[in-house]
Chains A and B, each alone.
Chain A
């Protein structure tokens, strides 16, 4: 929202949290383990890469030994053969190291890109199959940020922190063992900070998890604002509100900056501790060691060896802070990802049908509907809907703005499921047939004519079952019904790309294509939601004439705002406050029903009695 401090942050986040039963306190490890099904297919290569990484870091330890040997051996002994041998070994080791480094990356590059892609494909696939009610609640920016930035974080985690947590863990364990073996007293001194370090890391993880969750949610909110500001650009420009929109954006991004700085503060703190404690322990070991050397209990050489091993462990230990932070971020990203993936898809199961199939048309039987997210006990959006559209009949649905017409149409293809009662097609309960079959039987034109980035032909033919789509003439016939003759004048005719990625069409053109899409499959059942609103008088008349022929062959429900559209229908049902108030022909209702008269003519006289809404 551009004009006031945006509430979107709360929206997005709370949506994420309270709608889905995701235990927020789940440990990072447990969350990350959920990645296993995706990592599983690449486990061999991944494990190989981890092994190579361990090998490469061991190899790095061999280098100093070889160098030492060259200096102490052949060089000191003036032995040219030995020098050549040493250099040769060095070169071989170097080449091996280079290849191992490359091998590690090569092993995981494509597989991890594949993991990211597989997760994204699953997210997309799943989102397409979630109930429409889910999409009503979630801003698409929040979904998008899960599909992009969050997944990148996960891939990076698999590529780097996970491997190096293992490699460095092994290095540290080995190093500490060596230290304790060399001198257990000094070794224990060096080990001493481990306990407080683990405690600090634990606390850090907690705080950091919260902050990184906040940051990622804020990125989602930011994405939403960007998306809306682009989709609503004409309104923003029309009202000259780009400044306030920019202000809202600045506020949100400022909030994100605050969170990121808070994260940095936490990270700085933990890194300072991780640097300080081992260093202090090292200092203590140095002082103690010096005393021991002075007392002759320890040789200077052993102390040097001991300390240089300890110093070599510095990077692995310091890096733990970063690695933990990255892992925590990955855990948050994973959690956000699974929040969506855990949402229930539409239940594909089919109820047993008790109905008698027959040419019964479309029947609403005691239908009640309340949006899934509406408060329990609130008045349902639709109540006691009993409606029978006989086979081959066209019924117009008329009602005041907000009376529930569009909601009613959405129940037929099961975009939403009825709360009570049932809807039958030719006697078959719609919940007793697979959704795909149902949606093949029922064809729709929505209030908002959405075209996808595809050719005109593809956009229209998506309304037909695969076997009809191939039938020649189907496309031309459908375009003819919708009076979409402008298609021929498009640069590539029906092959012209339209939609967001293609050609921009006007509202009327899009509406005609959407109408063509709904009739192309010669559907048994047709549901049209105000299908002619954006057409001009002449076109509307022509479309009506053509549509009449189509309607003769199908059972249709047509939402209408105007007499001209109503006249397409055999009968009219008046929807008032979620109930069917009257059914009859246009003329009957005009005569007998004041509300209907008001809706159809807008006459003031009737407003008082009928419009007491």
Chain B
């Protein structure tokens, strides 16, 4: 792992506590994280061990070895069929013509049948080749896309906070596209090049060792040129891939924030900024194409000089009597064809370099190890006792800090008995959200263990963990799809009746039913506009449906109106009765239903007791509560 955390300079300002990430965070966590200069995340250049790109490509192709072999075979046979055409022509002129004059039609029929046969073969193998190669390359792409996607999903939240969504999108789309080009066109070129070069060099060597050797030797400068090109192209394509990722990031940001863009008249400024990024991509794109042009000139020059040289040398040897004229004639014809594949080689190199740059970026993403890994041998949670749906939560000597230092939570022990509703309050950067995230296992503690009914969270499989603990955050993102589907994220196998029951319990049913297609309304389509408050209700319905043993609400009611908040509280007293609940809210109304209140400050719990006890006391909470009462009752 290492890179994810090490490169992250944790400059804690202010209270130096809390957690970094965005929307779902505790509202007042003033803790900040700054990418250090030269942060690989900033440069969009995650480190890869040497050879990672190659081994990625190999591991992608390995399962399709049979397919690759068949593809190459089809190509070989097709080329064989194509090359036999001229031989038949020769046979026709040498044998069929005299035979025909002797009224023997056999050879002529053989010519016709033979030619028809090679035509059919070459068409058939062409057909087979394209199908086979498409199958291989599509399977590879499917595999790669899946790997990127699954891996991005497995990576922890704090990775995503820094990598930006645009880059992940870019990896899974434009970078995969480069590989598609390599596989669909490059492979064929490469096989053709190797085949043709080997065949013709062999012919030349067989015709005349001297000229053949010169031809073989001319591969040396060509090889040097290719090396040179590859080095320069790798840089150019790498730059291009980063540049397009930057363009994508800007594009996504603008489209997702189109309302403020319009309201604050950012169009012009955005156009200008986009122009800079777009221009950088344009330059990189053009540079990459010019590298290609340079290579083509170089390789053609080498090839054509070699041809002229060989012809000259051959002609002198003919003059000197050490070479047959016929051999020279044949060699000259072959020499010219020797370098024909050069253009194709260029095309292959082009798509290879572009794909390699993309693969390197993809490999960098895939090299990142999830900082919150799944256990290899998961343990089950103990069976629930006596129908109580809640589970006990225990923080056992837990502390948390980023690896670069900056302790967010000093070591503490804390136990929430099963079924207890715990409200966590505290000011800016008190560490409330970090506490919640440790419990939801968005992060793992630096030391100590978080236990659910005595089982370490790290030993639970994801499925088991999410049956146990569910967290609802302030950020209520809706996925495209229907409202029902969005609620069903809580439990995919839920029936429509169960979904509606959850929505009713939280008071979301009325507004959902009023949508154009009710529960089937696509949230991204016709009339699917859903306000922030409504989204939070949908998020709650999700949590109700998931029916976890432990429910964490991290500022999950911020956009709800008072009746909405009441509905949530009612649901917690009825539907969620008996669950262990951890509620983080800056609005103290939620505290009224809590069995217990924790007041946090600077990462420590400074007050702990029942609401009545604390309100009656003289501590921080009593003061907060007074201020809140005043704001409500007026």
Give me the 9 closest cross-chain CB pairs, A-B, nearest first.
A94-B304, A1-B481, A240-B466, A264-B134, A508-B27, A279-B119, A98-B300, A105-B293, A283-B115
User: Is the C-beta of A377 less than 8 angstroms from some C-beta in chain B?
Assistant: no
User: Is the C-beta of B169 less than 8 angstroms from some C-beta in chain A?
Assistant: yes
Nearest-CB residue, chain A, relative to B122: A275
Question: When A264-B131, A290-B108 are in contact, do A401 and B537 touch as well, CB less than 8 Å?
Answer: yes
Interface centre among B32, B160, B174 (most CB of A within 10 A): B32
Cα distance A237–B154 in the bound complex, in angstroms: 9
The SS class assigned to the A binding surface is: helix
Identify 6 new A-B residue pairs, CB closer than 8 A, beyond the known A6-B481, A224-B480.
Answer: A71-B325, A87-B311, A147-B251, A401-B533, A500-B249, A508-B27
Question: When A8-B480, A462-B264 are in contact, do A246 and B632 touch as well, CB less than 8 Å?
Answer: no
Contacts of A161 in B (CB 8 A): none
Contacts of A105 in B (CB 8 A): 289-290, 292-293, 296
User: Is the C-beta of A267 less than 8 angstroms from some C-beta in chain B?
Assistant: yes
Among the listed B111, B253, B318, B586, which residue makes an inter-chain contact with A75, where contact means beta carbons less than 8 Å apart?
B318
A–B pairs, 9, beta carbons within 8 Å: A83-B312, A102-B297, A128-B258, A222-B172, A234-B21, A242-B150, A452-B253, A507-B558, A536-B428
Within 8 A of A (CB), among B223-279: 244, 247-267, 269-271, 274-275, 278-279
Does A561 contact B271, Cβ atoms closer than 8 Å?
no
Task: State how many angstroms separate the Cβ of A600 from the closest Cβ of chain B.
Answer: 6
Does B631 contact A373, Cβ atoms closer than 8 Å?
no
User: Is the C-beta of B80 less than 8 angstroms from some C-beta in chain A?
Assistant: no
Cα distance A415–B529 in the bound complex, in angstroms: 14
Nearest-CB residue, chain A, relative to B99: A294
Within 8 A of B (CB), among A489-512: 489-491, 496, 499-511
User: Is the C-beta of A613 less than 8 angstroms from some C-beta in chain B?
Assistant: yes
Interface residues on B, range: 35 or more
User: Is the C-beta of B329 less than 8 angstroms from some C-beta in chain A?
Assistant: yes
Interface centre among B18, B146, B249, B300 (most CB of A within 10 A): B300
Does A401 contact B141, Cβ atoms closer than 8 Å?
no
Cα distance A463–B264 in the bound complex, in angstroms: 6
User: Is the C-beta of B48 less than 8 angstroms from some C-beta in chain A?
Assistant: no
Does A70 contact B315, Cβ atoms closer than 8 Å?
yes
Contacts of A405 in B (CB 8 A): 531
Contacts of A202 in B (CB 8 A): none
Contacts of A506 in B (CB 8 A): 18, 22, 25-30, 433
User: Is the C-beta of A477 less than 8 angstroms from some C-beta in chain B?
Assistant: no
User: Is the C-beta of A563 less than 8 angstroms from some C-beta in chain B?
Assistant: yes
Contacts of A95 in B (CB 8 A): 301, 304
Does B471 contact A238, Cβ atoms closer than 8 Å?
yes
Does B315 contact A11, Cβ atoms closer than 8 Å?
no
**Bitwise interface map of A from 570 to 613 toward B, beta carbon under 8 Å scored 1, else 0:** 00000000000000000000000000001111101001000101
User: Is the C-beta of A172 less than 8 angstroms from some C-beta in chain B?
Assistant: no
User: Is the C-beta of A58 less than 8 angstroms from some C-beta in chain B?
Assistant: no
User: Is the C-beta of A476 less than 8 angstroms from some C-beta in chain B?
Assistant: no
Task: State how many angstroms separate the Cβ of A39 from the closest Cβ of chain B.
Answer: 16
Cα distance A224–B492 in the bound complex, in angstroms: 21
Query: Which of A114-122, A177-185, A349-357, A358-366 is the contact stretch?
Result: A114-122
Interface centre among B30, B254, B316, B524 (most CB of A within 10 A): B524
Does A453 contact B253, Cβ atoms closer than 8 Å?
yes
User: Is the C-beta of A447 less than 8 angstroms from some C-beta in chain B?
Assistant: yes
Question: When A106-B293, A415-B263, A440-B265 are in contact, do A453 and B301 touch as well, CB less than 8 Å?
Answer: no
Does B285 contact A507, Cβ atoms closer than 8 Å?
no
Among the listed A125, A236, A257, A486, which residue makes an inter-chain contact with B142, where contact means beta carbons less than 8 Å apart?
A257
Question: When A105-B292, A563-B632 are in contact, do A11 and B492 touch as well, CB less than 8 Å?
Answer: no
Among the listed A75, A439, A502, A509, which residue makes an inter-chain contact with B315, where contact means beta carbons less than 8 Å apart?
A75
Total chain A interface residues with beta-carbon distance under 8 A: 200
Cα distance A427–B303 in the bound complex, in angstroms: 79
Nearest-CB residue, chain A, relative to B585: A536
User: Is the C-beta of B286 less than 8 angstroms from some C-beta in chain A?
Assistant: yes
User: Is the C-beta of A341 less than 8 angstroms from some C-beta in chain B?
Assistant: no
Does A4 contact B307, Cβ atoms closer than 8 Å?
no
Task: State how many angstroms separate the Cβ of A314 from the closest Cβ of chain B.
Answer: 8
Does B562 contact A239, Cβ atoms closer than 8 Å?
no
Does A3 contact B14, Cβ atoms closer than 8 Å?
no
Does B316 contact A80, Cβ atoms closer than 8 Å?
yes
Task: State how many angstroms separate the Cβ of A526 from the closest Cβ of chain B.
Answer: 12
User: Is the C-beta of A422 less than 8 angstroms from some C-beta in chain B?
Assistant: no
Task: State how many angstroms separate the Cβ of B348 from the closest Cβ of chain A.
Answer: 14
Question: When A222-B145, A226-B168 are in contact, do A517 and B264 touch as well, CB less than 8 Å?
Answer: yes
User: Is the C-beta of A31 less than 8 angstroms from some C-beta in chain B?
Assistant: no
Number of residue pairs A-B, CB distance < 8 angstroms: 605
Contacts of B256 in A (CB 8 A): 140, 231, 450
Within 8 A of B (CB), among A248-265: 249-250, 253-254, 257, 260-261, 263-265
Task: State how many angstroms separate the Cβ of A78 from the closest Cβ of chain B.
Answer: 5
Cα distance A371–B527 in the bound complex, in angstroms: 7
Task: State how many angstroms separate the Cβ of A595 from the closest Cβ of chain B.
Answer: 10
Contacts of A106 in B (CB 8 A): 290, 293
Contacts of B153 in A (CB 8 A): 229, 233, 236, 242, 245-246
Cα distance A275–B127 in the bound complex, in angstroms: 10
User: Is the C-beta of A34 less than 8 angstroms from some C-beta in chain B?
Assistant: no
Interface centre among B111, B263, B427 (most CB of A within 10 A): B263
Nearest-CB residue, chain B, relative to A412: B263
Does A241 contact B489, Cβ atoms closer than 8 Å?
yes
**Bitwise interface map of A from 201 to 237 toward B, beta carbon under 8 Å scored 1, else 0:** 0000000000000000001001110111111111111
Question: When A222-B145, A268-B126 are in contact, do A139 and B328 touch as well, CB less than 8 Å?
Answer: no
Question: When A124-B251, A276-B119 are in contact, do A533 and B559 touch as well, CB less than 8 Å?
Answer: yes
Query: Which of A386-394, A538-546, A549-557 is the contact stretch?
Result: A538-546
Does B301 contact A94, Cβ atoms closer than 8 Å?
yes
Task: State how many angstroms separate the Cβ of A412 from the closest Cβ of chain B.
Answer: 9
Interface centre among B122, B146, B281, B312 (most CB of A within 10 A): B312
Does A143 contact B255, Cβ atoms closer than 8 Å?
yes
Task: State how many angstroms separate the Cβ of A417 from the closest Cβ of chain B.
Answer: 13
Among the listed A144, A401, A410, which residue makes an inter-chain contact with B255, where contact means beta carbons less than 8 Å apart?
A144
Contacts of A110 in B (CB 8 A): 282, 286, 289-290
Within 8 A of B (CB), among A129-148: 129, 132, 135-137, 139-141, 143-145, 147-148
Contacts of A109 in B (CB 8 A): 286, 289-290, 292-293
Nearest-CB residue, chain B, relative to A94: B304
Nearest-CB residue, chain B, relative to A129: B267
User: Is the C-beta of A280 less than 8 angstroms from some C-beta in chain B?
Assistant: yes
Task: State how many angstroms separate the Cβ of B579 from the closest Cβ of chain A.
Answer: 15
Contacts of B628 in A (CB 8 A): 537
**Bitwise interface map of B from 14 to 51 toward A, beta carbon under 8 Å scored 1, else 0:** 10001011111111111011110000000000000000
Does A239 contact B466, Cβ atoms closer than 8 Å?
yes
**Bitwise interface map of B from 121 to 139 toward A, beta carbon under 8 Å scored 1, else 0:** 0111011111101110011
Within 8 A of B (CB), among A391-431: 400-402, 405-407, 410, 413, 415
Does A536 contact B481, Cβ atoms closer than 8 Å?
no
Contacts of A507 in B (CB 8 A): 22-25, 27, 474-475, 555, 558
User: Is the C-beta of B377 less than 8 angstroms from some C-beta in chain A?
Assistant: no
Contacts of B266 in A (CB 8 A): 128, 452, 462
User: Is the C-beta of A23 less than 8 angstroms from some C-beta in chain B?
Assistant: no
Does B135 contact A261, Cβ atoms closer than 8 Å?
yes
User: Is the C-beta of A26 less than 8 angstroms from some C-beta in chain B?
Assistant: no
Does A90 contact B489, Cβ atoms closer than 8 Å?
no
Does A222 contact B173, Cβ atoms closer than 8 Å?
yes
Query: Which of B407-415, B563-571, B598-606 is the contact stretch?
Result: B563-571
User: Is the C-beta of B56 less than 8 angstroms from some C-beta in chain A?
Assistant: no
Task: State how many angstroms separate the Cβ of B404 from the closest Cβ of chain A.
Answer: 14
Within 8 A of B (CB), among A461-481: 462-463
Cα distance A106–B627 in the bound complex, in angstroms: 72
Cα distance A114–B278 in the bound complex, in angstroms: 10
Within 8 A of B (CB), among A56-89: 63-64, 67, 70-71, 74-76, 78, 80, 83-84, 86-88
